[in-house]
Structure 1
Amino acid sequence: MLLDHFNPKHHTRRRHPKQAQSGASTGPSTPDLGEHRMGTPVDGSILSQLLRSYADNPASESGFSLTPGTRTPENDATESETDTTRAPRSRRGNKRNVKWYNSEQHLAERASTPPPWEHRKKRPKSDRQARLTKHIATVLARQQYMMQLCRTLMMYGAPTHRLEEYMAMTANVLEIKAQFLYIPGCMFISFDDALTRTADVKIIRVVQGLDLSRLAATHNVYKNVVHDVISLEQATEELDDIMTSTARYNKWLVILFMALASVSVGPYAFSARPIDLPVIFVLGLLVGFMQQVVAPASSTYANVLEVSAAILTSFLARAFGSIKHNGTYLFCFPAIAQSAIAMILPGFAVLSSSLELQSHQMNAGSIRLVYTIIYSLFLGYGVTVGTTIYGLMDPNATTQTQCTADSLEAAYGSQYVQHFPFVALFCLFAALTNQSRLKQLPVTVGMGVCGYVTNYFSTTKLGPNQVANTVGAFTIGLMAHLYSRIWHGHAAATMIPGIFTLVPSGLASSGSIISGLDFSESITHNVTVPGTTGAANSNSLTALGYGMIQTAIGISVGLFMSALIVYPHGKRRSAIFSL
């Protein structure tokens, strides 16, 4: 009894084998639910598609079981039916190959009996399998395109406070259910499946940079896919070509552009005279060489690039500034020191953090803000150390904190000549440094000059404060958004160099870069005033970071106000591609 109780034969439910169908039709056939489901839009993951396929093709109808090695009742019934029609065997027990033209009885049976049910269902099953394969390939293609798009946007400097919006709108257009979480340098993508209540999480890690030409090309691909101009396969291939293409300008040209940009920023932002420009050019070449050649070759040196560049340039700048001719200093120390490191200031990073915080993206904004503050403190520390070291070596070192106004008027003759032409040159070389295309340069230079002109006259009327930066950023943002809406240009790629013109001038107005000169003088001359040395040290280290945050807040407010005027309701299909 106990063995009979555990015998699986007593517990196996035997189903009657299906009746053999005659050649006549017995009624309307059951509709194919699998084909109906395959025609629906792709709204699930690969797992849900497979589960739907197995739900449409159970093991009892497909002829196989999900568990290997088990026998189903239909298999038994099939074997019992086919035992009577097995081919005859020879004396040795081998199966003989019976040809259709050698057996008249076989021909009669073939003419009277209908084709087996398995053969009749073979073709619909293969069709469903082909459609299932096609749908799974479609899901994979869409997910692959979204990951590649996210990678290129992060790599080439897309506005970080709108990255999640770009990806969400792309997923909406492609009918993919996904969620996105961005932190600096990393994007978490979760492809959700409501049917199986599962999620496929992807992590995209990219070293973020800035490449204006490839950013514009990526934006073209994004717009074409959103508006159904090109297919996903073509879009993925174009993104692959963008990522594998070489830079528009090689590193030696970039070093030259960085030096020329440092020369251009000196007169209008830091009151540099024409005699100071050759020294600024040499120091700019040195900084560019350290950033483009030395740092990529050594990961260890890349960690101290900013500090070493600030120490070296401030040391050499004070050395040149201490040279006297006829009792007066030949070079202007503060202009040389500030212009040399202008191209490594974290202006774009601190602006991105301010925009993220204003967009209520606290995760990305707070992380990037802390990074930019620490980065600015490194630069301020380097400037303080460099000036202090030379002060200890030369007791007669210069203590100038600004260039004399008489020498500036004699050199340029007009303040407009000192500022506006050099702003245009700085926009030009800053755009070339960031790999901008040549046909983008006229619009970029025009926007930068217009933004600085409004900033200059606002500073003249209101004084150096955040309001002047807001006015300048509002002008640049308004022109960029109109350029994008009317002429269908790339707002982000054209406005970034113009925004760069506002960052050095804002720092110069606050005097934060050379605020450590007083502290270095107290160390050099051994001046210890009770209660003042610690305060001077604290101010010298934090002034640059505080000045960066003040400048970025003013710029971010102006950019958001310009976007509100041009796009009061946003964009329905694609997000606003600008700062």
Structure 2
Amino acid sequence: MWISFEDNATGTSHVKFIRQASALDLGKLGDAHGFPSTYSFPQLIFLGGMCSSSICSLLSVRNELYGNVFEITVATLLSFVSAALASTQRICYEAVASSSVVLILPGFIVLNGSLEISSRSLIAGSVRLCYALMYSLFLGFGLAIGAELYQAMLGKPLVGGMDSMCALSHDSTGGWWQRTPSMWWAFLSVPCYSLFLSLRFGAVIGRRELFLLVAISCIGWVTNHFVGIKFPNQSDISAAVGAFAVGLVSNLYGRFFEGNAFVVMITGILFQLPSGLGNGGLFNFVVDQTSGSSSSYSSGFNTALQLISTSVGLTVGLGISLVLVHPVQSRRRAAGVFSL
């Protein structure tokens, strides 16, 4: 462990290197084992499914070797199932496939990379961004392989690969279950997704922070949604304004109520990151790949760039909110936006 002791009076620092020999301490090991995860593995699977079902209107990586291809295989399986369901022309391929992979998008990785680069941590930030670019391509490749397997095995074309509005599977004259949901459903789906996403990441039921997580996430989504209507196809602007709203409320809570701003803002930030799926996104890659287009990987890189532009907007919005709430230099502000 490296520890740096800074002297503000002289502007110098003294670095100490502390080395601890490895040893077995059963008492400390037992104490550490006494802090289990908040939710069990089956509960996490249920919460992941509820997140996907909410955002439509995970499986934990246990094996280290399988973890290297986890995203590709899961995306392949889910894309194959979504294509089979879409062939009935009663299920929307894009809606089912996008909601099924929403929790494994690399948005948080891209956000961390943007924050690190903005704080001059160039190496760490660049590594994260490069990893996110390749991760997006892996994810799109998995979705494309699933669609191609469906076409090859059943000899049927992919239905609704570019049907982002689900017009092929919805019937405006049919029953309520066949019609495109109105925006009034957002009053149910947005809080539900915020709740289950918070629980998925370990929020504890009954604590004040859980209510704040849901409320601030809803504030961020509403801001992002209406700014997105005003500035269509500009995810960086809508993300910046949405992140500003989330950061402003969270930092005000942290400053005046002695709470932790990071804890109550994280769901609101993660809610805005899947915009790389919007306006085609990954599914442009899927359609180009299944049709044999030579520009398929260009679509994949465009999706990754959408995630990066969104995260840049989030970084700017969070930074501005932090400056407004903490205009005077302080230790809390100097610690950074995502400091625990």
Q: In which range does the TM-score fall when normalised by the shorter chain? A: 0.7 to 0.9
CA-CA distance at 1:333 after TM superposition = 0.5
Alignment partners' CA distance in 2, 1:202 and 1:545: 41
Q: Deviations over 1:211-263 (max 9, x none)?
A: xxxxxxxxxxxxxxxxxxxxxxxxxxx9x967851111111111110110011
Partner of 1:445: 214
3-state DSSP of counterpart to 2:226: helix
Partner of 1:122: none
Pick from 528, 539, 548 the counterpart of residue 298 of structure 2: 539
**CA 1:366 to 1:453, structure 2 compared with 1: closer, same or farther past 3 Å?**
same
Give the letter aligned to residue 304 of structure 1. Answer: V
Instruction: Check conservation: 2:217, 2:246, Cα contact below 8 A.
Output: yes
Q: Deviations over 1:61-101 (max 9, x none)?
A: xxxxxxxxxxxxxxxxxxxxxxxxxxxxxxxxxxxxxxxxx
3-state DSSP of counterpart to 1:516: helix
Alignment partners' CA distance in 2, 1:429 and 1:497: 10
Instruction: Check conservation: 1:347, 1:500, Cα contact below 8 A.
Output: yes
1:570 counterpart = 2:335? no
3-state DSSP of counterpart to 1:304: helix
1:517 counterpart = 2:286? yes
Query: What is the correspondence of 1:122-137 to structure 2 with a 5 Å cutoff?
Result: none
Alignment partners' CA distance in 2, 1:462 and 1:493: 30
3-state DSSP of counterpart to 2:170: helix
Alignment partners' CA distance in 2, 1:488 and 1:241: 29
Alignment partners' CA distance in 2, 1:178 and 1:408: 70
**CA 1:576 to 1:478, structure 2 compared with 1: closer, same or farther past 3 Å?**
farther
Q: Deviations over 1:380-401 (max 9, x none)?
A: 1111111112122233333312
Give the letter aligned to residue 303 of structure 2. Answer: L
Q: Deviations over 1:444-475 (max 9, x none)?
A: 00000011101111111121311111111110
**CA 1:573 to 1:511, structure 2 compared with 1: closer, same or farther past 3 Å?**
closer
Alignment partners' CA distance in 1, 2:131 and 2:102: 18
**CA 1:566 to 1:315, structure 2 compared with 1: closer, same or farther past 3 Å?**
same
Alignment partners' CA distance in 2, 1:242 and 1:576: 27
Give the letter aligned to residue 307 of structure 1. Answer: I
3-state DSSP of counterpart to 2:337: coil
Alignment partners' CA distance in 2, 1:539 and 1:356: 26
Pick from 312, 315, 328 the counterpart of residue 553 of structure 1: 312
1:263 counterpart = 2:28? no
Pick from 123, 131, 137 the counterpart of residue 371 of structure 1: 131
1:315 counterpart = 2:80? yes
Instruction: Check conservation: 2:140, 2:286, Cα contact below 8 A.
Output: no
CA-CA distance at 1:517 after TM superposition = 3.2
Alignment partners' CA distance in 2, 1:479 and 1:313: 37
Partner of 1:254: 44
CA-CA distance at 1:356 after TM superposition = 0.8
Pick from 175, 192, 197 the counterpart of residue 430 of structure 1: 197
Alignment partners' CA distance in 2, 1:446 and 1:405: 35
Partner of 1:245: 35
Q: Deviations over 1:242-297 (max 9, x none)?
A: 78511111111111101100111112xxxxxxxxxxxxxxxxxxxx2xx32xx31x
Instruction: Check conservation: 2:92, 2:169, Cα contact below 8 A.
Output: no
Instruction: Check conservation: 1:492, 1:577, Cα contact below 8 A.
Output: no
Q: Deviations over 1:136-191 (max 9, x none)?
A: xxxxxxxxxxx6xx9xxxxxxxxxxxxxxxx86xx559x9x997xxxxxxxxxxx6
Query: What is the correspondence of 1:175-324 to structure 2 with a 5 Å cutoff?
Result: 192=15, 199-200=16-17, 245-267=35-57, 288=58, 291-292=59-60, 295-296=61-62, 298-323=63-88
Alignment partners' CA distance in 1, 2:204 and 2:77: 33
Using the size of structure 1 for normalisation, the TM-score is: 0.51
Unaligned runs of 5+ in 1: 1-146, 151-166, 180-190, 193-198, 204-237, 268-287, 324-328, 524-532
**CA 1:371 to 1:520, structure 2 compared with 1: closer, same or farther past 3 Å?**
closer
**CA 1:572 to 1:302, structure 2 compared with 1: closer, same or farther past 3 Å?**
closer
Pick from 475, 483, 489 the counterpart of residue 259 of structure 2: 489
3-state DSSP of counterpart to 1:339: helix
Partner of 1:35: none
**CA 1:566 to 1:509, structure 2 compared with 1: closer, same or farther past 3 Å?**
same
3-state DSSP of counterpart to 1:357: helix
CA-CA distance at 1:408 after TM superposition = 8.1
Instruction: Check conservation: 2:239, 2:310, Cα contact below 8 A.
Output: yes
3-state DSSP of counterpart to 1:437: coil
Q: Percentage identity across aligned positions?
A: 29
Of 388-397 and 402-411, the range deviating more from structure 2 = 402-411
Partner of 1:393: 153
**CA 1:381 to 1:413, structure 2 compared with 1: closer, same or farther past 3 Å?**
closer
Give the letter aligned to residue 42 of structure 2. Answer: W
| Structure of larger gyration radius | 1
- Equivalences, count: 319
CA-CA distance at 1:316 after TM superposition = 1.0
Query: What is the correspondence of 1:395-414 to structure 2 with a 5 Å cutoff?
Result: 395-400=155-160, 401=162, 402=164, 403-404=166-167, 407=170, 410-411=176-177
Unaligned runs of 5+ in 2: 21-27
Give the letter aligned to residue 322 of structure 1. Answer: S
**CA 1:374 to 1:399, structure 2 compared with 1: closer, same or farther past 3 Å?**
same
CA-CA distance at 1:575 after TM superposition = 4.2
Using the size of structure 2 for normalisation, the TM-score is: 0.84
Partner of 1:352: 112
Give the letter aligned to residue 344 of structure 1. Answer: I
Instruction: Check conservation: 2:253, 2:261, Cα contact below 8 A.
Output: yes
Instruction: Check conservation: 2:113, 2:126, Cα contact below 8 A.
Output: yes
**CA 1:573 to 1:316, structure 2 compared with 1: closer, same or farther past 3 Å?**
closer
CA-CA distance at 1:377 after TM superposition = 1.4
Q: Which has the higher contact order (CA 8 A, sep 6+)?
A: 2
CA-CA distance at 1:520 after TM superposition = 3.7
3-state DSSP of counterpart to 2:284: coil
Alignment partners' CA distance in 2, 1:445 and 1:577: 23
